[in-house]
Amino acid sequence: HEFGVRGNYLYVTSVKDHGLEIMDISDTGNPKHAGAFLENNQTFMKKPHSVIFKDNYAFVSSTEDNAIQVFDISNPTDPQPISYLKDDEKTGLKGVHGIAINGDYLYAAGTKDNALEVIDISNPNAIKHAAAVFDNEETSLKGPHSIAFKNNYIYILTAEEGLEVMDISDPVDPRHVSAYTENDHGHKFGGGHDIIISGNNIFTASYIDGLGFFDITNPIKIKSISEIHPSEENGLLSASDLALSGNNLFAVS
C-alpha cells in the first residue's frame, strides 16, 4: 500500500499479505528482495497502511487491527516486533491510516473513529496512549487520512470534510485552530488522501476533487492558491499519493 525508505532499504506495506516486504535498493537500478515480515499471533499487522521510522525503529499502522505495531530494525532485513498499541475505549485508532512522528510523539489518523490519536513513543518498547481528539462541532475530523507538520501546527487531511489545523505546542493537548472545507471554486477535498508541505505551501490529493494548492503562511487563515480538478485528460480521476522533487509535484492516481 505504501512504502518508506531507510538507508539502503525500502519497506513496503502489503495489504493482502498482512506484512512488510524489505528490498535492498543500494543499486537503484536493480532492487532485490532482502527480507519480509508476515503477521503472526504476536503482532497486529492486518492490512498494514503506513510505515515510518525513528532511530532504529519502524512504526506500522494496521487498518484492520486498529493498531500501531513497533519493530526493532537494528538489523534492517530482520524486523523484530517489540510493542504495539491497539484501539480501546480511550484511543482513536479505529481504521487507522496515516501516521507521522513529531519528537517523542506519534500522531495517527483514526479514520473510522473520526479522531486524531497521540501516542507517546519515548520508549519504543512500551508505547502508550497520550491523548485523543475526536470530531466535534468545532473540528473537521470526519474520516482523517493524512498528517503533516509545520512549526507547532499539525495539518490533517480528511476524506469527508477537508483540512483540519491544530496547535500542538503542547503535544498531548492538540487545540483546534482552523479548518478549511471548501473554496470559492467548489474544491471540497472529496476523498482526501495525501498532503505534503513545502515552505508555506500545502499540496493536497483527493480521490474525487483532484489536487489542491494552499498558502499556510497564516495557519489561522489558510488561502487557496489553485486547484486541478480531475479529468480523463489529466489522469487525476483518483489522485491518492504525492511526492515532491525540486519544483515538480508527482501525483499517483
pLDDT, one tens digit per residue, over 54-71 is: 999 999 999 999 999 999
Q: What is the pLDDT of residue 113?
A: 97
pTM: 0.94
pLDDT, one tens digit per residue, over 181-192 is: 876 655 667 788
Q: What is the pLDDT of residue 153?
A: 98
Q: How confident is the model at residue 253 (pLDDT cuts 50, 70, 90)?
A: confident
In terms of Cβ atoms closer than 10 Å to its own Cβ (0-12, 13-18, 19+), residue 167 is: middle
Grid coordinates representing 189? 477535498
The angle formed by the CA atoms of residues 220, 223 and 165, to the nearest 5 degrees, is 35
For residue 2, the number of C-alpha atoms closer than 13 Å in the C-beta half-sphere is 22
In the predicted model, is pLDDT for residue 207 greater than 90?
no
In the predicted model, is pLDDT for residue 89 greater than 70?
yes
Q: What is the pLDDT of residue 243?
A: 92
Q: What is the pLDDT of residue 80?
A: 97
Q: What is the pLDDT of residue 105?
A: 98
Strand partners, 9: 6, 24
Q: Return the number of other C-beta atoms located less than 10 Å from residue 206's C-beta.
A: 29
- In the chain, the amino acid numbered 44 is F
For range 156-174, the mean pLDDT: 94
In the predicted model, is pLDDT for residue 142 greater than 90?
yes
Q: What is the pLDDT of residue 111?
A: 96
Q: Name the 3-class secondary structure at 15.
A: coil
Query: Residue 188 contacts by C-beta under 8 Å, 6 or more apart in sequence?
Result: 162, 181, 182, 208, 209
Q: What is the pLDDT of residue 233?
A: 85
Q: What is the pLDDT of residue 236?
A: 86
User: Cα(227)–Cα(237) distance, rounded to whole angstroms?
Assistant: 14
Q: What is the pLDDT of residue 2?
A: 92
Q: What is the pLDDT of residue 220?
A: 94
Q: Name the 3-class secondary structure at 126.
A: helix
Q: What is the pLDDT of residue 183?
A: 62
Mean pLDDT, the chain, integer: 94
Q: What is the pLDDT of residue 187?
A: 61
Q: What is the pLDDT of residue 208?
A: 85
